[in-house]
Amino acid sequence: MSSMSYMEKLLDGVDVEWKALGNVTNVLRGKRLTKSQLSDGEKIPVYHGGLEPLGHYALSNRPANTVMIINVGASAGTVGYSSVDFWSSDGCFCVEHNELLNNRFLYFVLIGHQNLLRSRVRVAGIPTLDAIVVNNLQIPIPCPENPEKSLEIQAEIVRILDTFTELTTELTTELTARKKQYNYYRDQLLSFEEGEVEWKTLDEVATITIGEFVHKEKQDPDAKYPVYNGGRTPTGYYDKYNNTGEKIIVSARGANAGFVNRMSTPYWAGNSCYSIGMRDTDTLHSGFAYYFLKQSESKLTGIQQKGGIPAVSKKQMEELLLPIPSMDKQTRIVGILDKFDALTHSISEGLPREIELRQKQYEYYRDLLLSFPKPDAEVAA
C-alpha cells in the first residue's frame, strides 16, 4: 500500500493543519535541584541533561506521559518520554499536556525532528538548545476542527507505532538475557580445575606478529581487503593483504588496546594490530584460543601501559597462559560458544540482526504514518 493511499484512508478526507508547537501548547522549563536534595531512598526520577535520571527526589513537577527535550549538555536536542511522574530540572524542556494532542503522538512527531533539534544546538561553551527553536517546530494537527476525531486519528497512529517499539524492546530484553547466558556458559566451559589440563604460554602455542603501517593515501574505500589498526572495526581498505587463514587479532595500542577479535578472511594488519596464528592446529583450536582470549580481555586491558598511550606489549602477550584440554573437548566447547556468539553478536543473523530489521521497520512506518500533507510554503523552524 502506498503512503498516500494509506494516509488518505487514515485521514478519511479530513484536513491537516500545521502549527508551531508554541502556538498549540507551552514548552516548559524545569527547576534545578542541588545534589544534596537527591536521595537514593526516593522514587521520583530527576532529569537534567540526559535521558538517564540524574537521581531521585520526593516530589514531581511533571505528570506521567510527558514529552521531554534535553536542552543542555552532550545530549541537547534529544527527545524523550516519561511514562511516570518525574522532576524536570532546568536542563530539560517539557511539553505541557494539551487537549488537542495525544502526548505519545507528539513524541513520535518530535522524534522525527530530533536531527533538526540537534543541528540547532549552540555549541559555544556548554551545548545549549534555545526554547525558541522548540516553540517554532511545525507539527501536524489532523482534523483540528473536530478534536475528538483528531485524537482518534492520533491514537491509531500511536497504537501501530507502539506495537513496533514494544517488539523491539522485547527483542532487546531477550538479547540482554541471552548475553548473560552466553557469558555464564563461556565462563563455565573455560574454567578448569588445578591439574585438570596443561597450561602453556601463548608464545609456546602460537605465533604473534605485529602488522605494518600503510599510509592513508594508499588506502581505497573500494579496495578488497580491510585494514585493522588498533581498533574494533576496519580503519580502511587496501588492495593487498599481509594475513590470511584463521587468525586472532588484538589491538596493540590506543583507546581499544587489548580488544580481541578474530578473522577468517584475508586482511591487512596495521602497525597497531597483533595477529595470532596457531603453531599446531592439532593441539590448539583457533576458535578455542579466541574464546579464551576474549574471556581474558579484561586482563589484556588491565596490563595496558598507564603512561602515555594505552598499549599492550608483545612480551605481555607472549606470557599469557592458556589451558590446553583435549582437541575433542576444545571442538565441543567451540561448537557451543559459536552458537551463542552468533545469536548474541552476529550482524547477519541472530538477535542483533532481528533488532536492526525491526528498528528499520519501525522507522519506515513512523515516516509513513506521519507523512501528513504539508502546505506549499512551510515556516522553517
What is the CATH number for 30?
3.90.220.20
The answer on 313 and 215 residing in a single domain is yes
Let me know whether 139 and 207 are in one domain: no
Looking at the structure, tell me whether residues 33 and 135 fall in a common domain: yes
Residues 19 and 138 in one domain: yes
Give the DSSP per-residue string, 135-203.
HT-EEEEESTT-HHHHHHHHHHHHHHHHHHHHHHHHHHHHHHHHHHHHHHHHHHHT---TTTSEEEEHH
Question: Is 307 inside any structural domain?
Answer: yes
Cell 560458544: give the residue: 337
Q: Nine-digit cell at 88?
A: 524536570
SS3 60: coil
Residue 312 lies in a domain: yes
Q: Does the residue 220 lie in any domain?
A: yes
Residue 132 and residue 214 in one domain: no
Q: Are residues 137 and 239 in the same domain?
A: no
Instruction: Give the strand pairing for 87-88 and 44-47.
Output: parallel
The answer on 310 and 224 residing in a single domain is yes
pLDDT of residue 206: 95
In a domain, 117, yes or no: yes
Same domain, 26 and 123: yes
Residues in the chain, pLDDT under 70: 1-13, 230, 302-308, 345-351, 369, 373-381
Q: Are 253 and 309 in contact (CB under 8 A)?
A: yes
Q: Are 206 and 136 found together in one domain? A: no
Predicted confidence at residue 184, as pLDDT, reads 87
Q: What is the pLDDT of residue 379?
A: 41
281, 304, 324 - which closes a domain: 324
The answer to whether the pTM exceeds 0.75 is: no
Q: Last residue of a domain, which of 273, 302, 324?
A: 324
Q: What's the number of domains the chain is made of?
A: 2
Residues 279 and 240: their CA atoms lie apart, in Å, by 24
pLDDT of 20 reads 94
| SS3 of residue 205 by DSSP | helix
Answer for the pair 344, 351: CB distance below 8 angstroms, yes or no: yes
Residue 354 lies in a domain: no
Is 122 in the same domain as 223?
A: no
Q: Based on the number of CB atoms within 10 Å of its own CB, is 68 exposed (0-12), middle (13-18) or buried (19 or more)?
A: buried
Q: CA end-to-end span of the chain, whole Å?
A: 31
User: Is 57 a domain residue?
Assistant: yes
pLDDT of residue 72: 95
Are 136 and 211 contained in the same domain? no
Instruction: State the Cα–Cα distance between residues 125 and 241, nearest whole angstrom.
Output: 45
Q: Is residue 137 part of a domain?
A: yes
Domain with 71, as residue range(s), is 15-143
Q: Is residue 272 part of a domain?
A: yes
Residues 30 and 122 in one domain: yes
Q: Which of 324, 342, 360 is the last residue of a domain?
A: 324
